[in-house]
A and B are shown apart, each in its own frame.
Chain A
């Protein structure tokens, strides 16, 4: 955090100054470790085991927050008899079909009922939930599968004594029993003494009077089990009562100014604005069927129809009527995953022929950068919008494959457009930061030359396309012709008014006045709203994201600076900050509380809860939606109002986190015979070979653990940092970090050159031999890490080879995020070969390791 989010880290230091204990768990010793009370180096790829060990400690030693657990989580809920755990099936859950590599999730459900997920793969239940559906089995993952079965609306069975052998709490206890301190030491390389100290510090700092927070970044998400990493922390924090309370939480520190915003208003294939799922293709699917399949019965997702209809109204205006099914059919349908990695395959297959890159540099920043470049070399046209000529703009001229002779510029038919982008100082707009806070940046100057905002580009591209298609009677053009696309523009360059777009995102009612809250949205087409969770950002026609009341003039929650979704609430699920009666768990940790006199919730933050719902409210029989949430249900987006220790729906790879080794790992899975996540997503391809793992012959060819990371002085794939003299001077070139012990083992010399090789590529880097890298003993074997920052490529002022020429496309099956934090490699002294010899070296390694197209593809 001190490295990559240094200014946010000031608050950690502030907490430390007030007595907080800071624990840093990271394979490397970084600027964060230097300021931490304890640094715990662990082997990359072993965090589920590490957190699992703490969960086991909490359960075995009864360190959980019992009252919170029983009332606010699904710990008491009884599961179906059909559920079988990894304990029963040696590392896999019930429902696995090894042929298709898909889990049937039906056996993971609650007894006697069926709940829908608040996020994730909601379409999985389509055929169960839609009457008359043919139950079409789709090609992709996370898709409808399994046979019919009528919807059941029986009551959830709870055992508040937590004794029922099939209640979540007991299942959890059995599942984690084998995550003992001894086993943690063998898997993670963390000495038992250190591990137990972490357990002790964490549990003694959780409860009524104290809370602990977990902070993570892509070190947790970029794995074939990334979602389950986060789930591990969610389970632990729920057990300890650290969710929805000040100083608690599982906090993602994200790396781009509006990466949160681009998830909320998603430029992502599987989502519509506000986490409404993109529809998957089903027979006779209409809006009703979609809502039936995807919405919950209880909680705010029960109102999905209102959110969806308001969105369709925002996009297709007067064409979206009850008669036209609100233009639901105008939405393109998914068939499986269409993530950026499938797109690369589709480019290589010649299906995807046109590609827009808007401020992103996949030739450096995406896994298996070579596949990215080869995909682009197979396009008809490519549009790159950026500040400078990134590697993704120039690969056809000077990319690594030109140097190796694998590609020849004259043979590449891709037409490339480079359009210079405007900077944040040259346009109005909002960023959503990592804590869901929208902040407006005002335009300071006009962009020079041809530089334009992406707002300008997208608006004017759309305007031209609409003009060219005007009058078309081709049905496929109707969605584009009926689109509401009439934003006012300003100035000489006709820049669209960003605030008018914000107003549409916020939405308006039948009277045309801006809405103030998503609870005002209707399912009948009388309201318009581009992103329901952002409803209220333009309350009273005032840009709430531009509010800047100085921090010294307001309380510590600072609700008058910017605007946080939803409804300007700063801590999500904060009903959990009060006990079942509505009183703060302690004075010290008070955030919101039930004011019986006023009959409402009040406090420092805005309640993430119905303000007038008493703790004593119990829903009447047959209640639905928000009304069905009791006064004891803080988790208002969940189908049962509770924090999920066990996930009955929404995940593709299991209801509980389980330790699996990474796709490429020199280590065997000590816990189960199952080596890897059985449903991880892999894309075998001659340029995307996987390596032998564990005890497989050939593993010794790539004996070291490889990880990647960022530096303070550079930004992601370098597009906003390697072209800056200041930053390039601070971090002038690529390097790789190894321990003195590994340096001695491989004759690596500090400041000399090293070549790092995987089954995908070979890169060179200067060596930083440092004790910041800790050698570990894993299952009796000395294990070393090689660490490489991923910012570099050949362009700009500060240059170097790209880490992603080493990585493979192997993905988490839920999020489709690539595993680039835990791989294996070899390292040798000296520079890498140039020209055709570079590819030859990679091939020679593959042969020595006996790699075939099947290696590493086992279930």
Chain B
């Protein structure tokens, strides 16, 4: 090892470059010097909102090759001024993590295991069940007073969903005659 190599050591670089604590240029290696953040090379930045609590922090979603590559706080937001909490900062893992399921599963009555099911078939089966259960639980009246409803079907959830989704859920289920439509706002 020659003197030139020795001089390349971080300590010498720090002292030589007037950066004794190694907080500036001396800390850079040639590898790190050529790194660029994913956010800089992203093909597009999509404006979004954090999906966790109701503060509503702004998010910038970075996309390359039709994949989300990073989620950062949006500095433009008057709500959050670019900040995210630990949950919001984990949004990339929430949306792209390996724990997410992408396959419909079905458990038959009394079965001990899941089976996979085609989405189209599942939708059709669910529609059939809604129609049948709705009829089974139908009540034209109760104690002689008109109710025009079904007590057979209930739904729970909505606080994590979009307004437009809640609107369609309420609209469809009410038209079906269901009244037991609820979400976390109750809980």
* A346 in contact (CB, < 8 A): yes
**Which residues from A are CB-within-8-Å of B180?**
269, 338, 340, 342-343, 346, 352
A668 smallest CB distance to B (angstroms): 29
| Shortest Cβ distance from B85 into A: residue | A6
Residues of chain A within 8 A (CB-CB) of B9 are: none
Contact of B104 among A396, A418, A502 (CB under 8 A): A418
Closest to A335 in B: B142
Indicate which residue in A139, A502, A724 contacts B97 across the interface (CB closer than 8 Å).
Answer: A724
Q: Give the distance in Å from the alpha carbon of A288 to the alpha carbon of B160 in the complex.
A: 36
Q: In the complex, are the beta carbons of A359 and B99 less than 8 A apart?
A: no
Identify which of A255, A339, A505 contacts B167 (C-beta below 8 A): A505
Chain B positions 47-85 with a Cβ under 8 Å from a chain A Cβ? 47-59, 61, 63, 66-68, 71, 75-81, 83-85
Which residue from chain B places its CB closest to the CB of A478 in the assembled complex? Answer: B175
Q: Tell which of B10-18, B22-30, B33-41, B86-94 binds the partner.
A: B86-94
**Inter-chain contact A413/B110, CB cutoff 8 Å:** yes
Q: Is the CB of B177 within 8 A of A256?
A: no
Q: Decide: A352 and B164 in contact? CB cutoff 8 A.
A: no
| Contact residue among B61, B123, B154, B160 (Cβ-Cβ distance under 8 Å from A444) | B61
Q: Is the CB of A423 within 8 A of B86?
A: no
Q: A4-B53, A260-B54 known; A498 and B162 CB under 8 Å?
A: yes
Give CA–CA (A611, B12) in the complex, Å.
71
Given contacts A444-B68, A483-B171, contact A266 B153 (CB under 8 A): no
Chain-B contact segment, one of A435-443, A613-621, A638-646, A847-855: A435-443
Cβ-defined contact, B160 with A818, below 8 A: no
Q: Contacts of B133 on A, CB cut-off 8 Å?
A: 353-354, 380-381
How far apart are the CA atoms of A483 and B152 in the complex, in Å? 21
- For residue B113, which residues in chain A have a CB less than 8 angstroms away from its CB? 397
Which single member of B80, B123, B179 contacts A464 (CB below 8 Å)?
Answer: B123
- Inter-chain CA distance A254–B47, complex, in Å, is 22
Chain B residues in 8 Å Cβ range of A496:
168
Query: How far is the CB of B187 from the nearest CB of chain A, in Å?
Result: 6
When distances are taken between beta carbons in the complex, the residues of chain B under 8 Å from A387 are 94, 99-101
Chain A residue at minimal CB-CB distance from B170: A267
- CB B114 to nearest CB in A, in angstroms, measures 7
Which of A198-206, A277-285, A587-595, A769-777 participates in binding chain B? A277-285
List the one stretch of A73-81, A294-302, A546-554, A748-756 in contact with chain B.
Answer: A546-554
- Per the bound structure, the CA–CA distance linking A407 and B90 in Å amounts to 37
Q: How far is the CA of A409 from the CA of B109 in the complex (A)?
A: 9
Task: Name, among B67, B144, B164, the residue most crowded by chain A CB atoms within 10 Å (CB to CB).
Answer: B164
Q: Which of B100, B111, B141, B154 contacts A420 (CB 8 A)?
A: B100
In the complex the two chains form, what is the Cα distance from A554 to B76 in whole Å? 11
Question: How close is B185's CB to chain A, nearest CB, in angstroms?
Answer: 5
Interface code A240-276, partner B: CB below 8 Å = 1, 0 otherwise?
Answer: 0000000000000111111111111111110011000
Cβ 8 A contact of A409, one of B52, B101, B112, B185: B112
Bound-state CA distance A818–B184 (Å) is 11
Report yes or no: A333 in contact with B156, Cβ–Cβ below 8 A. no
A254 touches B99 (CB 8 A): no
Interface residue A745 (Cβ < 8 Å from any Cβ of B): no
Which one of A356, A418, A551 contacts B154 once the chains associate, using CB atoms below 8 Å?
A356
Interface presence of A159 (CB below 8 A): no
Query: Which B-chain residue is minimally distant from A713 (CB atoms)?
Result: B86
- CB contacts (< 8 Å) of A697 on chain B: these are none
B32 beta carbon closer than 8 Å to chain A? no
Q: How far is the CA of A822 from the CA of B61 in the complex (A)?
A: 40
**Nearest chain B CB to A5's CB is how many angstroms away?**
5
* Neighbouring B residues of A340 by C-beta, 8 Å: 154, 156, 180, 182, 186-187
A365 within 8 A of B: yes
The chain B residue sitting closest to A459, CB to CB, is B168
CA distance A331 to B129 in the complex (A): 22
In the complex, how many angstroms separate the beta carbon of A49 from the nearest chain B beta carbon?
A: 26
Interface residue? B105 (CB, 8 A): yes
A646–B140 alpha-carbon span in the complex (Å): 39
CB distance from B57 to the nearest CB of A (A): 5
Interface residues of A in 728-744 (CB under 8 A from B): 730
The answer on a CB contact under 8 Å between B179 and A262 is: no
Q: With a CB–CB cut-off of 8 A, which chain A residues contact B101?
A: 386-389, 418, 420, 451
Compute how far the CA of A273 lies from the CA of B154 in the bound complex, rounded to whole angstroms. 18
Complex CA–CA separation, A444 to B84 (angstroms): 19
Q: For residue A255, give the distance in angstroms from its CB to the closest CB of chain B.
A: 5
B163 within 8 A of A: yes
A410 to B108 CA separation, bound complex (whole angstroms): 10
Docked complex Cα distance between A449 and B100 (Å): 11
Q: Are A818 and B170 in contact (CB under 8 A)?
A: no
Docked pose: A462 CA to B173 CA in angstroms: 9
Q: How far is the CB of A141 from chain B (nearest CB, A)?
A: 15
Segment touching B, from A228-236, A680-688, A715-723: A715-723
Task: Evaluate contact between A335 and B147: CB separation under 8 angstroms.
Answer: yes
Q: Which residues of B contact A352 (CB under 8 A)?
A: 137, 151-154, 180
Distance between Cα atoms of A472 and B170 in the complex (Å): 22
Are B131 and A468 neighbours in the complex by a CB distance under 8 Å? yes
When A352-B137, A713-B86 are in contact, do A343 and B169 touch as well, CB less than 8 Å?
no
User: Which of A263, A334, A362, A498 lies in contact with B164, CB distance below 8 A?
Assistant: A498
A425-B68 in contact given A273-B167, A354-B133, A479-B177 (Cβ < 8 Å): yes
Contact between B86 and A730, CB atoms less than 8 A apart:
yes
A417 touches B105 (CB 8 A): yes
With A and B bound together, what is the CA distance between A281 and B177 in angstroms? 13
The answer to whether A282 touches B55 (Cβ under 8 A) is no
Report A92 CB to chain B, min CB distance, Å.
26
Q: A7-B88, A356-B157, A358-B155 are in contact. Are A268 and B169 (CB under 8 A)?
A: no
Asked if B147 and A333 sit within 8 Å, CB to CB, the answer is yes
Nearest B residue to A361 by beta-carbon distance? B157
Whether A797 is near chain B, meaning CB under 8 Å from some CB there, is: yes
Judge whether B1 is part of the interface by a CB distance below 8 angstroms. Answer: no
Q: Specify which of B44, B47, B94, B156 lies most central, judged by the most chain A CB atoms within 10 Å of its CB.
A: B156
Instruction: Please name the residue on chain A nearest to B113 by beta carbon.
Output: A397
CB neighbours of B127 from chain A (8 A): 461, 464-465, 468
CA of A429 to CA of B49, assembled, Å: 10
Quote the shortest CB–CB distance from B45 to chain A (angstroms).
9
CB within 8 Å for A278 and B179 given contacts A417-B105, A727-B87: yes
Other than the given A332-B179, A346-B151, A360-B187, 14 more pairs (CB < 8 A) read A262-B166, A266-B185, A332-B149, A351-B151, A356-B155, A360-B158, A386-B101, A425-B46, A439-B58, A441-B48, A444-B63, A448-B102, A476-B177, A480-B176
Supply 6 A–B pairs (Cβ within 8 Å), ascending by A.
A10-B81, A255-B184, A359-B160, A451-B100, A464-B124, A468-B127
Which are the 5 A-B pairs with shortest beta-carbon distances?
A: A449-B102, A429-B162, A433-B56, A358-B157, A332-B149
